[in-house]
Amino acid sequence: MVTIASYPQMQTGTIMDRDIYAPGLGTIVNIRPLTSLEKVFTIQLPEGQSLGHRPGQFMEVSVFGIGEAPISISSSPSRSNGTFELCARKVGDVTTALHNLKVGDKVGLRGPFGRGFPYENFRGKDILFAPGGLGLAPLRSLINQVLDERNLYGRVIILYGARNPGELLFKDELKAWSERDDVELMLTVDRGDEAWTGNVGVITTLFKFISIYPRNTVAITCGPPVMYRFVLMEFIGKGISEGNIYLSLERKMKCGVGKCGHCQINNIYACQSGPVFPYKEIKGLEEAL
Amino acid sequence: MAPLYYSITTEEQNVSLTILSKSAFQEFVARLLPHYRVVGPVPHDIGYSFEEIQDVTELRMEYPTTILPPKKWFLPPKETLFKFTRKNGGVIQDPPETPPTVILGVHTCDLHAIQLLDTVFSSGQYDVHYMGRRKKTLIISIECLSPCDEHSFCKDMGTLTADEGYDLHLTDLGDSYAIDVGTQAGADLLQNYSSSSVATKEEIQKLNAVINAKWPKFSYRLDFDVSELSSIMELSMKSPLWEELGNRCLACASCTNVCPTCFCFDVKDEVELDLVTGQRVRNWDSCQLDDFATVAGGHNFRASRALRQRHRFMRKGKYILDAHKHLGCVGCGRCARACLVNITPVSTFNELYRQQETGSH
């Protein structure tokens, strides 16, 4: 039997007749370059289907003939409108091929996969976001979800660091957030340039500028592997409890369905139990950070 | 069920136990050949392997072990998941039909491993590729009556016999096989293609004697009971042994390639010469290879051989048990035979146990 797969909707439970490895199709309806390395792809699903994702989840994205790669969903469910956004850095075979695609081209899609942020539990609390570099891409999904239901949350603090001003992502949104009086945004770069008047230093240098009420604060970070320990020390140093700290961890999620083994952190499959973890859950895992 | 000892009180209790003479067994296999793809142990110059047979004389039901486990008939080293066309990005699902298959002569260690793989690929997200082949396959296993060589440690791992996972299970009684029926499909196979008879009191006594005689031939090789393995592994995360194994390991992946319980895989696209059509393929992969846990940006989350060996043994002794309620090692000894630098599960597990007993780390 020859069938052309339609978009596989995320389902729970065991489905015996569907091939979990066969992607459905989405159409690229917009491409927005952010930096020399990152582009945002707006993708539309067939027949106006909604992705039904949760901030923090990821997609397996196929460029047929090149392969498949996990990419976090960068748009918020609150702004789905029949499309979603992926922010991809041109770094591997698949993302390089993705960067060469044009509006109207199709990509293969599986997902959404993994555990996202339990943002309903964050309501009523202050949220401290500390993304580094490309780590803003998955956290942007949650930030915009929170901003779209802003009155349900306490303070929104965003500390964002990049290596240099040219690598700051979503500059238009950073500007918009900085102009809101209900968002506290602070930026830093490891190395400034002539035009840069802001803070210079790694992301942890921003923590001395903020004071928080730790018992009512949820802290969230995502960034390059080297960053986590230092940011965690700042979170803990601010008095935030381990159960209120969330990390989104990068791993090689090849299959997305807990089988292929590539994303394992000790006994945990990051593609299923993560990529978002409360710190207290992974604190004892040797391979987590 | 294949209990250690068969009751001989009444014949009614043993209706599932039947007898097939060896010549009648040959006849049985010959009758299967036109209707099934028949796979069984076949000799090669460097060992035995599970191959499709065309003639019953190719089959060797008495064999020490095979180079690769029967896993390859359910999870092939390379398989096509689907075909695609790069024009309009269409996915074409056109899976080849698996012919009805009978695998003969599966040892009980491999039987335990297949039960683990069945659990892995049928639970959670259902894998139609593995399960499609598995559901088309009947397994006729055989009781091991003597150790295959010095590397196996099935008795320690509790895999020296099996009470489920087979359709039919044979025990060699010399000039005949006692056959334990495990499933209705197995019973039907026997009914349709053989002239087996219900075991007599004498035959049951003979079976009991054979099974009674086999167990002392196998020795225990672990210095501890297997029920302790998971906790030994849990306490061994920081053992200095991993560094030692890492220094010896060649990262060749022979151990995982021959393992009956390893199931990690890689997925790749292959494009035809027309540059339009192609296929997405799944290959066996190995956690022992350098880039197994490397992400696109270049960071390797398990960069040293020591960490990769630790991960392998943790999976075998603990992680898989935690996740799937089956031990990740069945004691077949294949990895020990294949290892070029003599890294073996028995010596590794025993050394970790010794380190804990003596508090040497």
Task: Write out pLDDT tens, residues A136-158.
Answer: 999 999 999 999 999 999 999 99
Residue A205 forms part of a structural domain: yes
Q: Same structural domain for residues A31 and A145?
A: no
Nearest beta carbon to residue A266 from set B84, B122, B314: B314
Q: Same structural domain for residues A161 and A203?
A: yes
Which CATH number does B11-75+92-216 carry? 3.40.640
Helix (H, G, I), strand (E, B) or coil at A152: helix
Q: Same structural domain for residues A130 and A223?
A: yes
Would you call A257 and B296 a contact, using CB atoms and an 8 Å cutoff?
Answer: no
Spell out which residues of chain B touch residue A92, defining contact as CB-CB under 8 Å: 296-297
- Nearest chain B Cα to A7, which residue? B91
Q: Which of B244, B246, B249, B284 is closest to B264 using CA atoms?
A: B284
Residue A228 forms part of a structural domain: yes
Provide the residue-wise pLDDT of chain B in tens; the chain has 361 residues. Answer: 444 555 544 444 445 789 999 999 999 999 999 999 999 999 999 999 999 999 999 999 999 999 999 999 999 999 999 999 988 778 888 777 899 999 999 999 999 999 999 999 999 999 999 999 999 999 999 999 999 999 999 999 999 999 999 999 999 999 999 999 999 999 999 999 998 889 999 999 999 999 999 999 999 999 999 999 999 999 999 999 999 999 999 999 999 999 999 999 999 999 999 999 999 999 999 999 999 999 988 999 999 999 999 999 999 999 999 999 998 999 999 999 999 999 999 999 999 999 998 887 6
Is A11's Cβ below 8 Å from some Cβ in B? no
Q: How far is A226 from chain B (nearest CA, A)?
A: 10
Nearest beta carbon to residue B267 from set A24, A65, A255: A255
CATH assignment at residue A134:
3.40.50.80
Nearest beta carbon to residue A106 from set B89, B271, B292: B89
Distances (CA, A) of A183 to A143, A144, A240, B188: 10, 11, 20, 71
Task: Please state the three-class secondary structure of chain B as a single string.
Answer: CCCCCCCCCCHHHHCCEEEEEHHHHHHHHHHHCCCCEEEEEEEECCEEEEEECCCHHHCCCCCCCECCCHHHHCCCCEEEEEEEECCCCEEEECCCCCCCEEEEEEEHHHHHHHHHHHHHHHCCCCCHHHHHHHHCEEEEEECCCCCCCCCCCHHHHCCCCCCCCCCEEEEECCCEEEEEECCHHHHHHHHHHCCCEECCHHHHHHHHHHHHHHHHHCCCCCCCCHHHHHHHHHCCCCCCHHHHHHHHCCCCCHHHHCCCCCCCEEEEEEECCCCCEEEEEEEECCCCCCCCCECCCCCECCCCHHHHHHHHHHHHHHHHHHHHCCCCCCCCCHHHHHCCCCCCHHHHHHHHHHHHHHCCC
The residue that leads in pLDDT, A199 or A10, is: A199
Spell out which residues of chain B touch residue A254, defining contact as CB-CB under 8 Å: 265-267
Would you call A287 and B124 a contact, using CB atoms and an 8 Å cutoff?
Answer: no
Would you call A261 and B263 a contact, using CB atoms and an 8 Å cutoff?
Answer: yes
Distance, CA of A57 to CA of A73 (rounded, Å): 6
Q: Which of residues 246-265 of A touch B (CB under 8 A)?
A: 250-252, 254-255, 257-265
Q: Same structural domain for residues A209 and A190?
A: yes
Q: How far is B94 from chain A (nearest CA, A)?
A: 5
Neighbours of B311 (CB within 10 A): 23
Q: Same structural domain for residues A127 and A56?
A: no
Q: Which pLDDT value is given to residue A82?
A: 87
Would you call B129 and A89 a contact, using CB atoms and an 8 Å cutoff?
Answer: no
Q: Which pLDDT value is given to residue A16?
A: 59
Spell out which residues of chain A touch residue B242, defining contact as CB-CB under 8 Å: none
The residues, any chain, with a CB within 8 Å of residue A36's CB and separated by 6 or more, are A166
Would you call B323 and A15 a contact, using CB atoms and an 8 Å cutoff?
Answer: no
Is A22's Cβ below 8 Å from some Cβ in B? yes
Spell out which residues of chain B touch residue A22, defining contact as CB-CB under 8 Å: 81-82, 91, 93
Residue A4 forms part of a structural domain: no
Q: Residue ranges of the domains in chain B?
A: 11-75+92-216, 226-358
Q: Which pLDDT value is given to residue A1?
A: 34
Is A4's Cβ below 8 Å from some Cβ in B? yes
Q: Which of residues 25-54 of A touch B (CB under 8 A)?
A: 25
Q: Same structural domain for residues A183 and A162?
A: yes
Q: Same structural domain for residues A156 and A202?
A: yes
Would you call A265 and B282 a contact, using CB atoms and an 8 Å cutoff?
Answer: no
User: Which range of residues forms the domain containing residue A218?
Assistant: 119-248
- Nearest chain B Cα to A225, which residue? B299
* Percentage of residues of chain A with pLDDT beyond 70: 94
Q: Same structural domain for residues A173 and A67?
A: no
Spell out which residues of chain B touch residue A3, defining contact as CB-CB under 8 Å: 92-93
Examine the pLDDT at A12 and tell me if it is beyond 60: no
What ipTM was assigned to the predicted interfaces of this complex? 0.90
Task: Write out pLDDT tens, residues B148-177.
Answer: 999 999 999 999 999 999 999 999 999 999
Of the residues A113, A143, A166, the one at which a domain ends: A113
How far is CA A18 from its chain centroid? 28
Examine the pLDDT at A174 and tell me if it is beyond 80: yes
